Amino acid sequence: MMPFAEIVREALSSQAAAKQRTILALIGIVIGIGSVIALVTVGQMVQLTSLQQFQQMGTNIITVQRGWGDKGGGNAKQQGPSQHMTWGDAEDLKANVSGLEMVAPYTSTWGQPLYTDRPLDMPVMGVTRSFADINKLEVLKGRFISDLDGYSFFGVLGAGAAQKLAKLGVADPVGKTVFFKKRGFKIVGVLKRTAEGGMRPYEINPGMMIPVRTSYLFKRERNVNEIMARLAPNADRHLVIKAVKRYFKQRHPGMLTQVRSAEQLIAEMAKQSQLFTLLLGAIGSISLLVGGIGVMNVMLVAVTERRKEIGIRRALGAEQIDIQAQFLVESVILCLAGGLIGIALGVGAAYVLSKVNGWIFFVSGWGLALGVGVSSAIGVFFGYFPARQASRLNPILALRDE
C-alpha cells in the first residue's frame, strides 16, 4: 500500500486542481461549522460573563420577592394590600432568621424625575446604606445614601443617569437638584458603572437612589419591592432559604414567597444555556448534513470525472485500498478546509458580538477541537461511499474512459 504522506500529497494537489468546485462544496461546511462555532462560543461567553458578575457580587446573596403564582395572586386580591412584603418584614427579618449577615430592602417609586423642566426618564429606588454593600456599588463622586439621611431629599445617580445629565450640559451633577414628585432632590453622589446581570437590580445604572424613608413619603403602603440579603459565612444556604420562607409564611399566610440564591440562578442559567447549545447544535447539524451531502456529491462527480486517472493508477499497481484512501483523504481535506474556514468565521462573528455586547471574549479549545473533529468526521462519513465506488471501478473500463 501507498504511504500515507503520499496519499495526502496527492489529495492536496487534486483539490488545488479543482478550485472552483472545491470552493462551492466548501460553502455548506463553512456555514455549518461556522454557525456552530459562533453559537457555541457566544453561549460560553454569555455564561462566563454572567458568572463573573455573580463572582463580583459574591455567590452568597439571596433575594426575596413576593411570588406571582396563582395562589399568591388570588390571595392578594382577597386579602388586599397587606399581602405584600413590607418594611417591617425586612426590618425584623435579620432578627428572626439566623444566618443572615446583612439585609437590604429596596423600593421602586413611579414617576418622572425632571432636571429643570427636562424629563429624565429614570427609575427611582428607595435604598438603605446596606444596598451599596450587598451590590458592591462604588462611588465615583460624593457619597452614597446613608442611614442617617432619614427623610431627607437626597439622591445618588447611577452611571447611566449621570450620563443623561451630562447630555443636558451638567458635567458634575453633585450639588445639583433633580425634581421628583414636585420635590427637589439634591444630588449627593454619583456611582461608577456596575456590571449588569446576575442578582443586581437593573435600575442601578440608569436610576436615582433616594433614602428609603423618603420614598415612603410618596407611597400609601410601606411595601418593599425586593429584599436582598447576604448570608453569614458558613451559613447553610438551604436552611436559610427554608427559614426565610417559613418566616414569611408566618407573617403572611397565603402569600407566595420566592427566594432565589445566586447559586440557584447560576444553575438555572447553566441549564438554559445547555438547552440553547443543544438547539443551536441541532441547527448546525442540519447545515452540516446538507454540507456533507454537497461534499458527497462533489466527490461522486470527482470519481466520475477521474475514472481515467483511477484506471491509470490501477494499471500501475494501485490496490483498491490505495484508490479508496486517496478519495477518502481528499474528502476529509475538503471538509477540514471548510471546517477551518468555518471556525475562523465563527470565532470572528463571536468576537464582533462580544465587542458589541460587552461580553468577555473567550474561545474554548474544546469548541475548536469539536469543529475540527466534526468536519473530519463528515469528510470520512460522506467520502466513504464515493471512495468505495472509485476503488471498485473495473480498471479496464476505467482506462478506456475518455
Partner 1 sequence: MILVMNIIELKGITKTYHIGDMAVDVLKGVDLSVETGELLAIMGESGGGKSTLMNIIGFLDSPSGGAYHFEDQDASHLTDNQLAHIRNQKIGFVFQQFNLLPRLSALDNVSLPLVYRGVERSQRTEIASEMLKRVGMADRMTHRPPELSGGQQQRVAIARALSGKPTIILADEPTGALDSQVSQEIMEIFLKLNQDQKITTVMVTHDPKVGQQCRRTVRMSDGRLAEV
Query: From CA 26, how far away is CA 43, in angstroms rounded?
Result: 25
Q: Select 1 or 286, whichever has its Cβ closest to partner 1.
A: 1
Nearest to partner 1 of 163, 304 (CB atom): 304
DSSP 3-state of 180: strand
Question: Torsion angle, CA of 209/210/212/217, rounded to 10 degrees?
Answer: -130
Residue 276: alpha-carbon gap to chain centroid:
10
252 three-class SS: coil
146 Cβ contact partners less than 8 Å away, ≥ 6 residues apart: 129
Q: CA of 36: how far to CAs of 43, 184, 324, 336, in Å? A: 10, 54, 30, 15
Q: Given the complex with partner 1, which of 310 and 335 has the nearer CB atom?
A: 310
Minimal distance, residue 335 CB to partner 1, in Å = 21
In whole angstroms, how close is the CB of 1 to partner 1 at the nearest point? 7
Report, in Å, the least distance between residue 320 CB and partner 1: 6
Name the minimum Å distance from CB 297 to partner 1.
22
Residues that bind partner 1 (CB under 8 A): 1-3, 6, 13-14, 17, 308-309, 311-320, 322, 395-396, 399
Please identify, using beta-carbon distances, which residue of 311 and 342 lies nearer to partner 1: 311
Integer Cα distance of 39 and 49 in angstroms: 15
The answer to whether the CB of 182 falls within 8 A of the CB of 151 is no
Between 252 and 314, name the residue whose CB sits nearer to partner 1: 314
Torsion of CA 92, 94, 98, 99, to 10 degrees: 160
Smaller CB distance to partner 1: residue 177 or 320?
A: 320
148 contact partners, CB below 8 Å, separation of at least 6: none
What one-letter code names the amino acid at 317? Answer: G
Shortest distance in whole angstroms from residue 280 CB to partner 1: 40
Rounded to a whole number of angstroms, the minimum distance from the CB of residue 400 to partner 1 is 9
